[in-house]
Every structure is written in structure tokens, then in C-alpha cells.
Amino acid sequence: MFTREVTLEVILPANIEKSFAAMVNWPAQSDWMLGTKVWLSAGDGQSVGSEITALTGIGSKLGLLDTMRITNWEPPKLVEVLHVGKILKGVGIFKLEPISDNQTKFIWYESVWLPFGIFGLFGWWLIKPGFVYGVRKSLKKFSSTL
């Protein structure tokens, strides 16, 4: 199995507490995540073991279903998730670092475990530019909502 990593950052115009509250407002991610509907699927969404599900794609039924389980919860600086879906597996880390009283660095990290052996690796090289573009655009939109 191959693993690939992506790290992206954005500066948020808010303090770390406000940034964290907005970051973990899971349903509101639907407003800023490009082509994605996000909902809480188990637990309270604010603790280890809770699950969040996201559907990224075209329309409301065609896309990639991504189920994530919170594995580390350290407000207001860190949330780690394990992607536990049928296709998408790996680790996601959402980390906040204070810059000043009204600025926070948001670091989005993904370590994706690619299915299908060498074919998955080839597929990753095809979809990576679109994935990075989508997350980068989403983070910029998130920043503008604060």
C-alpha cells in the first residue's frame, strides 16, 4: 500500500479560539468546502470517537463518501481524524497556531493510504492537482468567513 501526504496552510483573520470553533463546526464546513456536504454522523463532534462524514462530488448523491473518526481532540489547537471509509483511508490533522491576537495559522495535513496498488499511485498523480486546488480554494474561502 502506498501513502501520500499533503500539507496546506492559510492565515485566518481571527484568534485561535474563534478559529477553532469555526473549524470544528462540522455542518458549516459545507459552506466553505468546495463541492462538499459535511455532517456529524456519530457522537457529539467535540470528542474522541465522534464521526464526521463528508460527501465530495457532483450534486447531492454522486461523489466520494469520506467518514472520519476523531482520534485526538485538543481544543483550541488540534483535531486529528482517521479516515475510515471503504475507499478513503488515512490520517487528517487540523492544527492551529496563534500568530497574534487576531491571526491564526491553520495547517491542513492529510496522509492518504492509496488503494489498488500501483494503479492507486497512478490515480493519485492524476487527482492530486485537483485535490490540492480544491483544498487551497476551500481554505481561502474559510478564511474569508471569519
Share of the chain above pLDDT 70, in %: 98
Cell numbers found for residue 15: 484568534
Distance, in Å, from the CA atom of 22 to the CA atom of 6, rounded to the nearest integer, reads 22
Express each pLDDT in 66-118 by its tens digit. Answer: 999 999 999 999 999 999 988 889 999 999 999 999 999 999 999 999 888 89
Pairwise CA distance, residues 110 & 142, whole Å: 18
- Answer yes or no: CATH 3.30.450.20 is held by domain 2-145: no
Under 8 Å between Cβ of 96 and 78: yes
Q: Is the pLDDT of residue 59 over 90?
A: no
d(CA 63, CA 45): 23
The whole model's pTM is what?
Answer: 0.92
Residue 30, pLDDT > 80, answer yes
Residue position matching grid coordinates 481544543: 75
